[in-house]
Amino acid sequence: MKNANNVFTRTNRIVIRQFELQDIEAFYQYRANPSIETYQSWENYTYEQAESFVQQQMTQTPDQPGTWFQYAIALSKSNQLVGDCVIHTLDSEPRIVEIGFTLAPEFQGKGYIHEALSSLIEYIFTTLNKHKIIAFTDVRNEKSIRVLERLDMRREGHLLQNYMSKGHWVDEYQYAILQSEWAAKRH
Ligand X SMILES: CC(C)(COP(=O)(O)OP(=O)(O)OC[C@H]1O[C@@H](n2cnc3c(N)ncnc32)[C@H](O)[C@@H]1OP(=O)(O)O)[C@@H](O)C(=O)NCCC(=O)NCCS
Footprint of ligand X (CB under 6 A): 36, 39, 100-103, 108-114, 137, 141, 143-144, 146-147
Residue showing the smallest CB distance to ligand X in the complex: 111
CA distance 51 to 8: 22
CA distance 132 to 81: 28
> From the CB of 4, what's the least distance to ligand X, in Å?
28
Among the listed residues 136, 18, 12, 32, the one whose alpha carbon sits nearest the alpha carbon of residue 73: 18
Cα distances from 121 to residues 34, 64, 77, 96, 99, in angstroms, run 28, 17, 22, 12, 9
For ligand X, give the closer residue by CB, 4 or 33. Answer: 33
CA distance 45 to 28: 7
For ligand X, give the closer residue by CB, 26 or 36. Answer: 36
> From the CB of 147, what's the least distance to ligand X, in Å?
5
For ligand X, give the closer residue by CB, 3 or 43. Answer: 43
> From the CB of 101, what's the least distance to ligand X, in Å?
5
> From the CB of 15, what's the least distance to ligand X, in Å?
15
For ligand X, give the closer residue by CB, 4 or 9. Answer: 9
Q: How many residues does the chain have?
A: 187
Output the CA angle 131-94-16, nearest 5 degrees.
75
CA distance 61 to 119: 18
DSSP 180: H
> From the CB of 8, what's the least distance to ligand X, in Å?
19
For ligand X, give the closer residue by CB, 1 or 15. Answer: 15
